A and B are shown apart, each in its own frame.
Chain A
Amino acid sequence: MTGYVPPEFSVEIAEEQTRCTVRVAGELDYDTSDELVETVVVLLRHRPRTSAVRLDFSGLTWIDSSGLSALLMIRRTTSAIGAVLCLDNRPGFLDQRLRLTDILDHLTGPAMSAAPHGLGEEDDTTRAGVT
């Protein structure tokens, strides 16, 4: 059995006038998530007028819970300066994780307020299984 070697993690930044795109490639996990948060925090510190940050995940090969934690941290940073966060080109596994943990709406919601989660249709206790 050959040892598994993960593809190289990389973060690339493309800046436009009031928006910037951060291309994330490789595995976003315990070892790499700090690097992504640090990159975005430094970027926004120098560009306080940014109105939108796009995270482009087309090169993402894996994400774990530390990676989700990094996205939540980035969301706090963008909210603080009133910028929107967009998660583009999400691979299936990322979507699945965002759905499972129920944070997609929060991450991509309106900039200034943390999206209130309507308990709405989920509030009713669903019954399943043998009764």
Chain B
Amino acid sequence: MVGRAPGVPLLVCAFRGSPASPRNAAAHVGAVWSEAPCPVLVVDRHGALVQLNRAARSLLPRACGGVRLADIAPSWLSDAHRHMAAGEPGVSPGPLTGSIDERHFEAYPSPSAEGGVVWWLVDGTDRHRAEEALHSAQERSSVLAEASSRLLATLNVPRCMEVTAAMAAEHLAEAAVLVAPPHGRRHTLTYAHRGGPVSQVTRKIDPRGVAGLSEALQGYPPVPARWINPDDIPDWLIPEGFTEPVGSVIIAPLPGHGVPAGALVLLRSSTRKCFSDGEEAFARLFAARAGAALSAARLYTEQAAITATLMRELLPPVLERVHGVEYAAGYRPAKDHERVGGDFYDFHPGADPTQETLVVLGDVAGKGLDAAVLTGKIRNTLHALLPLAADHQQVLSLLNGALLTSHHARFATLVLASVSRRGGWVQARLTSAGHMPPLIVRNSGEVEEAATRGTLVGALPEVSACTVETTLAPGETCLLYTDGITEARGGPLGDEFFGEDRLRRALAECVGMPAEAVVERVQMLAAQWLGGGRHDDMAVLAISAPKTGPLSVVGGEVRHAHNRRSR
């Protein structure tokens, strides 16, 4: 407005100067320009139009000699002319650009007589559009690249939904809501508002109340944005902080692997322009990427949950002192990051001290989860056969029948031990089904092998086994173990087995130790022997007769404790 201070007289000047100047200016410019294909305007230094060619006349139909440029041309051109006539330097370094009636022009001035200016307008509409298209394509592809890298960086479903909603609000709309597929009747909703925090709630909603939402959640093709009435959007679909009325809506399905991964709702307020077709198409592209990432995260989470559930079932039980007998066990799977494997043990305490406690330790051919699943089957079957535990052969026969299959010859070897306390002593019935016989550590320092033998279970039509009965004096221990211990490969050169002899020597030093200490000692020696080497599953289980048992109602126990003290 400062430059315009003498604006009022300017108007007068323009009228006064106009009769003389057109002819002079035209004479300087020459006649050729009048046929030029680009619009040309001759404007005097006061801003009045002197002459224009045919192209300019069709562009600016209201223009004629003597009219002020400001009245017929857009301000970007008239302002530029005023600056030019006043001799001020141009504002921008590049060519002057602007639009006239939806077309885009570059304006090149050349000086004319008496401070007048000839404006040459070059139509750059197509180039301008191409540049804009290129720019937005670049922007979109960088958004998609960012979406992919941010979404694929996480396999956590809630985090994936947050990133999707936040990116959608940032790049595609003013606000975005991600509606996850229902869990029962409840949906997890993730809200994002541009510039605001992302929030997540799980609630009961009725997607049928929103046109296109229940279809999107079922994976049907999207409903065009123009079919959705913004007034129908319920309050629960509007993020907190989005106060203006909703102007336009896109509901894009998130396609998953086989099952839909949810729907993305994009909102724009009524003060902003509606979503264009291009934006709608881009929203679908974005939704496709987000859907793939969400779906991968969901599949992974489900798998991990299934594995965790199975693992929980297959984890070995915790052993403890029961009915005056000490039990302890330790297990190290072949791969330290897996918690289950082909070795197993189980523990079924007797209902009361007069009942036997059944202990089982075994090894399934194979490794990892495959083997672990078979150990689960064996443990369940043995649990069911518990009432028959008085007859180990019968138990093994029935177990063998339950495991036989024509698909594979995956078998198990195991040891059954039925243990009970009689006075201060512990009685055990031991049966090996193709497994290393238990080792018994006597108080004399002698290590005995229980003389039980039998057929492995799960591969042959018939099996047989023999049971031995043994008695543990207070302080004596019976050790059940798998070949992972004796076949631990290591030693000074890394190629030697730990072996049964070394195990026996180690046990000879464990005389009088409680069960837990024996297990720890054996595990520690085997681990030392291994060094960092590869190993198979290793399981160890010890049954001990406690040295000084608690005074119990059993008469023998009390007498025994007295005897020991008096010695």
Contact = CB atoms under 8 A, between A and B. Distances in A.
Contact of B494 (A2, A66, A101, A126): A2
A106 B456 CA distance: 12
A106 B465 CA distance: 15
A18 B279 CA distance: 75
Contacts of B536: 64
A49 to B, nearest CB: 23
Contacts of A69: 365-366, 408-411, 459
Nearest to A120: B464
B184 interface: no
A14 interface: no
B471 A117 contact: no
A65 B413 contact: yes
A102 B455 contact: yes
A128 B450 contact: yes
A126 to B, nearest CB: 5
Given A3-B494, A72-B459, A117-B455, A30 B366 contact: yes
A26 B483 CA distance: 20
A102 B494 contact: no
Contacts of B411: 65, 68-69, 72, 101
A72 B409 contact: yes
Contact of A122 (B450, B462, B466, B471): B466
A17 interface: no
Given A129-B471, A130-B471, A114 B460 contact: yes
A127 interface: yes
Contacts of B440: 129
Interface in B453-506: 453-456, 459-473, 483, 487, 489-490, 492-495
Interface string A87-122: 000000000000011110010000000101111001
B453 A4 contact: no
Contact of B489 (A4, A100, A125, A131): A4
A123 interface: yes
Contact of B450 (A65, A76, A129): A129
B363 interface: yes
A68 B455 CA distance: 13
A43 interface: no
A127 B468 contact: yes
A16 interface: no
Interface string A63-81: 0111011101100100000
A29 B465 CA distance: 26
A60 to B, nearest CB: 15
Contacts of B448: 128-129
A42 interface: no
B311 to A, nearest CB: 21
B173 to A, nearest CB: 55
Q: Is the interface of A mostly helix, strand, loop or mixed?
A: loop
B460 A125 contact: no
A123 B366 contact: no
Contact of B464 (A114, A119, A129): A119
B115 interface: no
Interface residues of B, number: 53
Category for how many chain A residues contact B:
20 to 34
A130 B453 CA distance: 19
Interface centre among B411, B459, B470 (most CB of A within 10 A): B459
A73 B466 contact: no
Contacts of A103: 434, 455-456, 459-460
B456 A102 contact: yes
Contacts of B470: 128-130
Contacts of A2: 493-494
B545 to A, nearest CB: 11
B365 A65 contact: yes
Contacts of A116: 462
B492 to A, nearest CB: 7
A68 B93 CA distance: 86
A4 B455 contact: no
A8 interface: no
Interface string B393-409: 10000000000001011
A120 B436 CA distance: 22
A106 B461 CA distance: 10
B284 interface: no
A130 B473 contact: yes
Contacts of A126: 451-452, 466-468
Contacts of A65: 342, 363-366, 411, 413, 483
B19 interface: no
Given A65-B413, A66-B366, A129-B440, A102 B434 contact: yes
A66 B410 CA distance: 8
A73 B462 CA distance: 16
A95 to B, nearest CB: 14
Contacts of B317: none
A73 B409 contact: yes
Contacts of B460: 72, 103, 106, 114, 117
27 contacts: A1-B531, A1-B533, A3-B533, A65-B364, A68-B365, A68-B456, A69-B408, A69-B459, A73-B409, A76-B406, A76-B409, A100-B413, A100-B434, A101-B413, A101-B434, A101-B456, A102-B453, A114-B460, A114-B461, A116-B462, A117-B462, A122-B453, A122-B454, A124-B466, A125-B468, A128-B448, A130-B471
The 5 closest A-B pairs by CB, nearest first: A129-B470, A101-B434, A72-B409, A65-B365, A102-B455
Given A1-B531, A65-B483, A122-B465, 14 more contacts: A64-B536, A65-B413, A66-B366, A70-B409, A100-B434, A101-B413, A117-B462, A122-B454, A128-B451, A128-B469, A129-B468, A130-B471, A130-B472, A131-B469
Interface of A: 1-4, 30, 64-66, 68-70, 72-73, 76, 100-103, 106, 114, 116-119, 122-131
